[in-house]
């Protein structure tokens, strides 16, 4: 499983292993993430050296980047409920960012029920943190998805073509993961009248071109 | 004209908020300095609240160093007031530097002294306040030989030594004037890390940093507030993220083709980033509807996209010259705000 997208590897995927911990990533994911996505991995040559890394050139504000990092670490199980996080000062010095930015990120995560600093002895991961992290991750993926759909339409693809590609990708992913439930769903969707119509239409377009 | 109005509206809440709710460790009101008949800085309100790392930004010659010298009592202002830690720097003389550390871009050291000797001298000046152990830790970390003469230190080593000395004096306010200009990225990292741990010390004492720099990447990392000195216009100030969010990048698709030689009439305050025959990319500050309406009025717009501005693009907007036609008025406005 790729530690960034948590998806499996399909034949033909371009992958690369982290020189530090050996974890295999999709190449695109490695580039997306800027380095090895295994939390705490020191990375290898040319890979990220520290999981608490931020990218100051990223248009995403640094505080939000820290929020995503922490959520991601929790989603991966690197930090579990009850675990203590590094202090604001430690994170600020490590990332070389403003401590106020870090404490604001921690406060945001506290408000969302991910972290808890009430005990006064540090910042801890809350019980329900994993669910929140997964929810946020889904929201992020859906957002990217919507952007991709927009781009597809802008590039001149038709609704039917987008749908076809989507069903195909779903089928492929389901087969690769041997996920019976998804596979059955995909077959069901493919049989629907809209899909059949779309399939025929796409076929016609293919011939006329 | 529209530009400056929007700016004031955008900046107003943040500006008025900070000095009243929590007095800054550094506060300046209506600060101005004139050399002969030329005002280098005028009508400047500035606050560095406790716990903040405030960037002092501006193009070359915008008056950053003059401002810092006035804040430290090294240069008498022509008008306005300054307080540092609640007191007037001009009245305090050297006493101010017990709690305020200043690293200037010139990196002056006593060249005949050794690293160790200079540290002893600084320790004597500061007395019990000087943290000898802390200096030793930093000296070792920065790889400075105790017996090395200051005169033979490289630029980066000089900067590190000054930083170590400044921190060991345990100041409450750290003023850094272009501390890392011309230094490699590792020395810059040392400064950033030192600044981050300095303001976040967990003893509850209020601390703050004022940092003037040209390295926008450092600003976006380490600073939470900014004061931008502008030619002919009132300074901008506020939370860094708010200041950036006030700017946006616009991609304008044009009706028809724009001959390359043609002079462009752009809305005031808009900065041209890229120019193609059928499209322009600009950055501008202010409310989106307002900017878009101005673009529509000035250019044959066929389509418009708006994107978040990067810090570099935002910096270009902040420091864009305030419109010439209103230039004299802008100066008056700045004076009037004092």
Which of A119, A108, A56, A50 is CA-nearest to residue A84?
A119
Name the nearest CA neighbour of A123 among A139, A109, A143, A144.
A109
A181 belongs to a structural domain = yes
Within-domain flag for B95: yes
Task: Among B191, B207, B216, B222, pick the best mutation site for testing chain A contact (most A Cβ within 10 A).
Answer: B222
Residue B330's domain is classified under what CATH number? 3.30.70
Residue A203, pLDDT score: 65
Asked if residue A193 and residue A100 are part of one domain, the reply reads no
* pLDDT value, residue B56: 96
Distance (Å) from the C-alpha of residue B279 to the closest C-alpha of chain A? 18
Do the Cβ atoms of B200 and A97 come within 8 Å?
Answer: no
Q: What is the mean pLDDT of chain A?
A: 79
Nearest chain A residue to B207, by CA:
A99
Side-chain-side CA neighbours of B105 within 13 Å: the count stands at 14
The verdict on A121 and A167 lying in the same domain is: no
- Quick check: B185 contacting A, CB < 8 Å? no
CA–CA dist A34, A5 (Å, integer): 13
Residues B48 and B156 placed together within one structural domain of the fold: yes
Domain boundary (A114, A130, A146) is at A130
Where residue A58 falls among pLDDT bands split at 50, 70, 90? confident
What is the least distance, in Å, from the CA of A94 to any CA of chain B? 7
Please report, for the domain that includes residue A63, its CATH number. Answer: 1.10.10.10
Quickly list H helices, chain B: 2-21, 64-71, 89-92, 115-126, 132-141, 155-168, 185-199, 216-222, 240-245, 288-298, 311-318, 327-337
Residues A44 and A79 in one domain: yes
Say if B221 is an interface residue toward chain A (CB within 8 Å): yes
For residues A122 and A172, membership in a common domain is answered with: no
Quote the Cα angle for A27-A32-A35, to 5°: 75
Tell me: do B236 and B252 sit in the same domain.
Answer: no
* Two structure tokens written together for B202: 């967990």
What domain range is B128 assigned to? 14-242
Domain span at residue A200 reads: 157-209
Please tell me the distance in Å from A1's CA to the nearest CA on chain B.
33
Residue B260 lies in a domain: yes
| ipTM at complex level | 0.75
> Do B258 and B200 reside in the same domain of the chain?
no
Cα–Cα distance for residue pair A103/A116, rounded to 1 Å: 12
Whether residue B257 sits in one domain with residue B136: no
- CA angle in degrees (0–180, nearest 5) for B36-B176-B219: 105
Structure tokens given for B187: 């020395």
Tell me how far apart the alpha carbons of residues B224 and B55 are, in angstroms, rounded to a whole number. 8
CB B191 within 8 A of CB B159: yes
Distance CA B289, CA B293 (A): 6
- Asked if residues A85 and A70 have their Cβ atoms less than 8 Å apart, the reply is yes
B201 in contact with chain A, both atoms CB, cutoff 8 A: yes
User: B242 CA to chain A: closest CA distance, Å?
Assistant: 11
Least confident of A20-29, A47-56, B198-207: A47-56
State whether A126 and A172 are in the same domain: no
Q: What are phi and psi of B111, to 5 degrees?
A: -65, -25
Number of domains, chain B: 2
pLDDT by residue (tens digit) across A110-148? 999 999 987 678 899 998 898 888 888 788 889 989 999
Q: Is residue A9 part of a domain?
A: no
A96 assigned to some structural domain: yes
A162 and A208 share one domain: yes
Asked if B226 and B49 count as a contact pair (C-beta separation under 8 A), the reply is no
> A89 — contact with chain B (CB < 8 Å)?
yes
B66 found inside a domain = yes
Is there a single domain that holds both residue B236 and residue B249?
Answer: no
- In-domain check, residue B173: yes
What is chain B's percent helix, strand, coil content, to nearest 5? 40, 25, 30
Question: Residue A141 domain-assigned?
Answer: no
Q: What is the pLDDT of residue B105?
A: 81
Q: Check whether A194 has a pLDDT greater than 70.
A: no
Q: Would you call B113 exposed, middle or buried from its count of C-beta atoms within 10 A (0-12, 13-18, 19+)? A: middle
Tokens 């600060």 belong to B31
Asked whether the beta carbons of residue A89 and residue B217 sit closer than 8 angstroms, the reply is: no
In this predicted structure, the answer to whether residue A17 has a pLDDT above a threshold of 90 is: no
The per-residue pLDDT for B108 is 81
Which residue in A has a C-alpha nearest to residue B49's C-alpha? Answer: A100
- Spacing of C-alpha B323 from chain mean position: 22
Instruction: Check whether residue B220 and residue B117 sit in a common domain.
Output: yes
Nearest to A96 among B222, B241, B308 (CB): B222
Q: Assign B20 to helix, strand or coil.
A: helix
Q: What residues of chain A lie within 8 A of the CB of B189, using their CB?
A: 96
Residues B294 and B324 grouped into a single domain: yes
Helix axes A88-95, A62-75, angle to 10 degrees: 110
pLDDT score, position B324: 47
Residue that is last in its domain, among B219, B242, B265: B242
The confidence score (pLDDT) of residue B1 equals: 38
Does B87 touch chain A if contact means CB atoms closer than 8 Å? Answer: no
A75 in a domain, yes or no? yes
pLDDT attached to residue B266: 87
Instruction: Spell out which residues of chain A touch residue B200, defining contact as CB-CB under 8 Å.
Output: 88-89, 92-93, 99
Say whether both A86 and A21 belong to one domain.
yes
CATH number of the domain to which B192 belongs: 3.40.50.300
Angle at A136 between CA B240 and CA A23, to 5 degrees: 100
Answer for the pair B211, B52: CB distance below 8 angstroms, yes or no. no
Distance from CA of B51 to the nearest CA of A (A): 8
- For residues A29 and A125, state if they share a domain: yes
Which of B212, B242, B272 is the C-terminal boundary of a domain? B242
Q: Could you count the other beta carbons within 10 Å of the beta carbon of residue B7?
A: 23
Question: Are residues A31 and A91 both part of a single domain?
Answer: yes
Residue A84 lies in a domain: yes
Q: Which residues numbered 236-275 in B keep a CB inside 8 Å of some CB on A?
A: 241
pLDDT computed for residue B91 by the predictor: 85
Q: Do A97 and B199 touch (CB under 8 A)?
A: no
Q: What is the pLDDT of residue A39?
A: 57
Tens digits of per-residue pLDDT, B200-212? 887 878 999 999 9
Given B53, B201, B310, which is nearest A59 (Cβ)? Answer: B310
How many angstroms separate the Cα of B312 from the Cα of each of A171, B217, B249? 44, 8, 11
CA distance B192 to B161: 15
Q: Examine residue B55 and state whether it is found in any structural domain, yes or no.
A: yes
Identify the segments of chain B with pLDDT beneath 70. 1-22, 322-338
**How many residue pairs from chains A and B have C-beta atoms closer than 8 A?**
55
Identify which has the larger pLDDT, A158 or A14.
A158
Asked if B28 and B173 sit in the same domain, the reply is yes
Higher pLDDT, B86 or A193: B86
Tell me the chain A residues in contact with residue B220 when contact means C-beta distances shorter than 8 Å.
56, 62
Domain count, chain A: 2
Whether residue B1 lies inside any domain: the answer is no
One domain, residues B207 and B61? yes
Give B205's DSSP letter. -
Last residue in a domain, options B242, B269, B299: B242
């Amino acid at each position: 499983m790729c530690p960034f997208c948590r998806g499996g590897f399909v034949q033909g995927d371009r992958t690369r292993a982290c020189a530090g911990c050996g974890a295999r990533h999709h190449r695109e994911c490695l580039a997306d993430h800027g380095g090895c996505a295994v939390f705490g991995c020191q990375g290898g040559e040319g890979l990220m050296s520290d999981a608490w890394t931020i990218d100051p050139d990223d248009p995403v504000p640094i505080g939000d980047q820290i929020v995503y990092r922490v959520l991601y670490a929790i989603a991966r199980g690197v930090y579990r409920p009850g675990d203590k996080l590094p202090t604001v000062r430690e994170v600020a010095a490590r990332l070389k960012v403003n401590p106020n930015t870090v404490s604001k990120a921690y406060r945001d995560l506290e408000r969302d029920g991910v972290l808890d600093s009430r005990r006064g002895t540090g910042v801890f991961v809350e019980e329900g943190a994993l669910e929140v992290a997964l929810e946020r991750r889904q929201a992020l993926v859906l957002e990217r998805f919507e952007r991709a759909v927009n781009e597809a339409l802008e590039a001149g693809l038709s609704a039917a073509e987008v749908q076809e590609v989507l069903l195909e990708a779903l089928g492929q992913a389901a087969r690769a993961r041997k996920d019976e439930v998804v596979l059955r769903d995909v077959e069901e969707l493919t049989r629907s009248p809209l899909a059949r119509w779309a399939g025929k239409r796409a076929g016609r377009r293919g011939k006329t071109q | 004209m529209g530009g400056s109005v929007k700016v004031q509206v955008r900046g107003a809440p943040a500006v008025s908020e900070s000095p009243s709710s929590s007095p800054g460790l550094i506060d300046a009101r209506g600060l101005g300095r004139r050399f002969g008949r030329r005002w280098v800085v005028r009508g400047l309100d500035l606050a560095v609240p406790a716990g903040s790392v405030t960037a002092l930004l501006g193009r070359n010659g915008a008056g950053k160093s003059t401002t810092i010298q006035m804040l430290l009592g090294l240069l008498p202002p022509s008008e306005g007031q300054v307080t540092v830690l609640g007191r007037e720097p001009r009245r305090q003389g050297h006493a101010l530097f017990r709690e305020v550390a200043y690293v200037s871009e010139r990196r002056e050291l006593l060249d005949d002294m050794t690293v160790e000797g200079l540290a002893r001298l600084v320790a004597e000046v500061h007395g019990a306040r000087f943290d000898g152990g802390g200096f030793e830790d930093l000296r070792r970390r920065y790889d400075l030989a105790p017996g090395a003469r200051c005169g033979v230190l490289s630029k980066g080593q000089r900067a590190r030594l000054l930083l170590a000395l400044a921190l060991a004096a345990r100041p409450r306010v750290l003023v850094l004037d272009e501390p890392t200009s011309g230094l490699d990225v590792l020395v810059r990292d040392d400064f950033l890390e030192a600044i981050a741990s300095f303001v976040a010390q967990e003893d509850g004492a209020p601390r703050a940093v004022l940092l003037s720099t040209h390295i926008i990447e450092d600003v976006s990392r380490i600073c939470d507030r900014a004061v931008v000195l502008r030619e002919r216009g009132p300074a901008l100030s506020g939370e860094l993220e708010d200041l950036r969010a006030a700017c946006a990048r616009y991609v304008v698709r044009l009706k028809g083709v724009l001959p390359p030689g043609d002079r462009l009439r752009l809305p005031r305050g808009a900065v041209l980033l890229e120019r193609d025959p059928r499209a322009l990319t600009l950055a501008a500050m202010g409310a989106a509807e307002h900017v878009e309406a101005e673009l529509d009025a000035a250019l044959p717009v066929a389509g418009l996209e708006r994107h978040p501005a990067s810090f570099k693009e935002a910096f270009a907007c902040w420091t864009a010259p305030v419109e010439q036609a209103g230039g004299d008025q802008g100066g008056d406005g700045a004076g009037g705000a004092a």
